[in-house]
Amino acid sequence: MIVVIKRGASAEEARTVVEKIKAMGFDVNVSQGAERLIIGVLGVRENKDTLAAQLGSLAGVERVMPISKSFKLVSREGAHADTIVKLANGAEIGGGLVHVMAGPCTVEGRDMLIETAKWVQACGATLLRGGAFKPSTSPYSFQGMGKEGLEILSEARALTGLPIITEVLDPRDVASVEAHADILQIGARNMQNFQLLKEVAKSRKPVMLKRGLSATIEEWLLAAEYIYAGGNHDVIMCERGIRTFETTTRNTLDLSAVPLVKQLSHLPVVVDPSHATGKWDLVTPMARAAVAAGADGLIIEVHPKPSDALKDGFESLTFNKFAAMMDAVRPVASAIGRPVASDAAAAV
Ligand code: PEP
Ligand code: MN
């Protein structure tokens, strides 16, 4: 970190800054530029952010500038190789193939889930999604089937072999959700639930971290850093749209986040065009665009009858529309040399 001293600041003010830095355990490198005094803060310590904030309030300080990324372990700095998240069935997310995770927003019952699981698998999905614990904006809307929903997800996995991705909302539920899930999903509304992040960090199951509704890329990567630093290195990022002034779509899909997060971090990136757009007829075009932008996977809401869905029917694909989406995505994936995972498996 670099501290720029104001033009005209007194020698006493500069000395106070240097003493403060040293008192907090850092080394100092002072350099007198043509116009300003620049003080380099050297050393890696946990209290660096506190020091930065405190220095900013000292007289004579013009600016405090970080020079390395605030997220360290998930950063590309240090030339970390791409993280490949391996699932129990051997599937690899981030390994150059596009994984499609599909299923209903919410597990609504056994038959609908199993019927959906079989269909999406036949179409080429390699993971089954479905919420048992649902984060609902309104306390009056359906909160999910809870533990019963988890049992149904397990049964669907037993029948189809599809790994399960499902959301965990509460640190107290991590143990029961991880007993049924292959990937723990952290929803957008919980991206900065630091207690929950610390709890899933202790799990041995991979975590998919959705971007918060209004989270910057840095905040999102710092949330990932919590999980990584807590000991769980199997983290997948999921761009699911952010809140902007635009209200015609449910959210605004920030597609540039895909190549940007891949530049900044070694973690795989999945895109959720269902929640990003909130409109079923925008899902396929944005799914294709996401794959073209280099996404490692897609997560798509599919329902046997969206008009009867308990949640998110307006953005859910019917079975036939999901089949058509897969057909539309395949040529894009192949064109950029990152085939859909089920096609690559079939070709072996
Ligand atoms: C979901 O995947 O069903 C969901 C609630 O998504 P998000 O957290 O992105 O809103
Ligand atoms: Mn949903």
Radius of gyration in angstroms for the set of CA atoms belonging to the chain, rounded to a whole number: 23
For ligand 1, atom 9: residue with the closest CA: 188
Q: What is this structure's pTM?
A: 0.89
CA pair distance 157, 118, nearest whole angstrom: 10
| Structural domain includes residue 71 | no
User: With pLDDT > 90 as the criterion, what percentage of the chain qualifies?
Assistant: 86
Element (H, E) at 174: helix 174-180
Angle, alpha carbons 281-338-186 (nearest 5°)? 60
Judge contact between 75 and 265, C-beta under 8 A.
yes
Judge contact between 212 and 222, C-beta under 8 A.
no
CA pair distance 36, 283, nearest whole angstrom: 53
pLDDT of 347 over the 80 cut: no
Atom of ligand 1 at shortest range from CA of 129: 2
DSSP string, 210-267: EPPTT--HHHHHHHHHHHHHTT---EEEEE--B--S--SSSSB--TTHHHHHHHHBSS
- In total, how many domains does the chain have? 2
Judge contact between 208 and 186, C-beta under 8 A.
yes
Q: Which two tokens stand for residue 164?
A: 């399960």
Q: Which residue has the higher pLDDT, 162 or 136?
A: 162
- Does residue 13 sit in the same domain as residue 93? no
End-to-end CA distance of the chain: 51
Q: How far is CA 85 from the centre of its chain?
A: 13
pLDDT of res. 31: 85
pLDDT of res. 122: 98
Q: Which two tokens stand for residue 104?
A: 């209903």
Q: Are strands 207-210 and 235-239 parallel, antiparallel or unpaired?
A: parallel
CA pair distance 347, 342, nearest whole angstrom: 9
| Cβ neighbours of residue 52 closer than 8 Å, sequence gap 6 or more | 1, 64, 66
Q: Which domain holds residue 26?
A: 2-66
| Cβ neighbours of residue 50 closer than 8 Å, sequence gap 6 or more | 24
pLDDT tens-digit map of 204-224 = 999 999 999 999 999 999 999
CATH classification at residue 161: 3.20.20.70
pLDDT of res. 43: 85
* DSSP 8-state assignment for residue 118: H
| Structural domain includes residue 235 | yes
- Does residue 226 sit in the same domain as residue 109? yes
Angle, alpha carbons 40-69-48 (nearest 5°)? 50
Atom of ligand 1 at shortest range from CA of 187: 8
| Structural domain includes residue 79 | no
CA pair distance 58, 45, nearest whole angstrom: 20
- Does residue 120 sit in the same domain as residue 184? yes
Residue 15 pLDDT level (bands cut at 50, 70, 90): very high
pLDDT tens-digit map of 255-309 = 999 999 999 999 999 999 999 999 999 999 999 999 999 999 999 999 999 999 9
Determine how many CB atoms are found less than 10 A away from the CB of residue 159. Answer: 13
CA pair distance 300, 51, nearest whole angstrom: 44
| Structural domain includes residue 227 | yes
pLDDT of res. 49: 85
| Structural domain includes residue 266 | yes
CA pair distance 261, 264, nearest whole angstrom: 5
Q: Which two tokens stand for residue 172?
A: 């107290």
- State the ligand closest to the CA atom of 242: 1
pLDDT tens-digit map of 105-161 = 999 999 999 999 999 999 999 999 999 999 988 999 899 999 999 999 999 999 999
- Does residue 301 sit in the same domain as residue 208? yes
pLDDT tens-digit map of 29-56 = 888 877 788 898 988 788 888 999 999 9
Q: Which residue is listed with tokens 């904030």?
A: 53
**Residue from 210, 242, 300 whose mutation best tests the ligand 1 pocket (most atoms within 8 A of CB):** 210
CATH classification at residue 53: 3.30.70.1140
| Structural domain includes residue 80 | no
Q: Which residue is listed with tokens 């199951």?
A: 205
Angle, alpha carbons 314-315-320 (nearest 5°)? 100
* CA 7 / ligand 2 centre spacing (Å): 54
Phi, psi of 284 (to 5 degrees): -65, -50
Q: Which residues have any ligand 1 atom within 6 Å of their CB?
A: 105, 131, 135, 187-189, 210, 240, 272, 275
